[in-house]
Amino acid sequence: MEKSKVLIVGGTGYLGKRLVKSSLANGHDTYILQRPQIGVDIEKVEMLISFKMQGAHLVTASFNDHRSLVDAVKLVDVVICAISGVHIRSHHILLQLKLVDAIKEAGNIKRFFPSEFGTDPARMENAMEPGRVTFDDKMVVRKAIEEAGIPFTYVSANCFAGYFLGGLCQIGHILPSTDSVVLLGDGNQKAIYVDEDDIATYTIKTIDDPRTLNKTLYLRPPKNILSQREVVQIWEKLIGKELKKSTLSKEEFLAPMKELEYAEQVGLCHYYHVCYEGCLANFEIGDEASTLYPEVKYTTVEQYMKRYL
């Protein structure tokens, strides 16, 4: 079977660059949306050129130019969007409505992967303000996709390992301490941590797989469903030392909310739902990625943590 041609939107971003690499590695004809508004962002330009040298095609198009988006979409079979929905970086989820319009008009796309890759927004209707904006916006995009009759796959990748494991699940930390750690609540709520390269690998695997069409694909590597305490224990074992532990009640965790900037408030809410409510692992699913694609040797939490030694 001939492999689908893929357009990646946001191909120089945190997850996007990994999707490009995985798509190329899997032999897909890979196109990357290049926005003319790149200005003098030399790092992005260098990344795009390096991808071009690896065989990717650069397509100039803009969210401000509907015709250019339609023309870009017509070149491929599958569109993957990886624009940021994390407020501490940037939040452009609703921009995808323009992409949905272009895909609808082009009429040739076999599958669209919108920018999801985190908590399943369909399960977050009771999320707190202002963090729920992320989930609400993603649901607006889903509704537009489904009303337009566009075939889709939603990827729920849970916790990006770099953001969560690096800081031992503490908000605002991305490197693990060798001295102390603050446990959120009792530290026993399970979450799911996925290496960012593995997120890209699984996503690209699903492109031509009928089993994942018009479904949500959950990434739940069995060995990576762990509580904060268990993550800390793995780190302690690696460094051969016990960390000093203190605990933070949910009231203490939420107390500084009012003083924080909006983007930080959003992040705080997301951590709250994951670490205090266990929103990622408290429901059953059908097949998940590691059972659908047993050939992928995913990175375990312990393997991932070794990079910080």
DSSP letters for the chain = -PPPPEEEETTTSTTHHHHHHHHHHTT--EEEEE-GGGTT-HHHHHHHHHHHHTT-EEEE-BTTBHHHHHHHHTT-SEEEE-----TTT---GGGHHHHHHHHHHH---SEEE-S--SS-GGG-TTPPTTTHHHHHHHHHHHHHHHHTT--BEEEE--EEHHHHTTTTT-TT--S--SSEEEEETTS--EEEEE-HHHHHHHHHHHTT-GGGTTEEEE---GGGEEEHHHHHHHHHHHHTSPPEEEEE-HHHHHGGGGGS-HHHHHHHHHHHHHHTT-TTTSS--SS-HHHH-TT--PPPHHHHHGGG-
Cβ–Cβ < 8 Å for 84, 70: no
Rg (CA), the chain: 20
In angstroms, the Cα distances linking 181 to 75, 176, 228, 267 are 50, 9, 10, 19
Backbone phi, then psi, for 190, in 5-degree steps?
Answer: -80, 140
In the block, residue with structure tokens 């509704």: 143
- 138 catalytic? Reply is yes
Catalytic pick among 17, 104, 138, 205: 138
User: Among all residues, which ones are annotated catalytic?
Assistant: 138
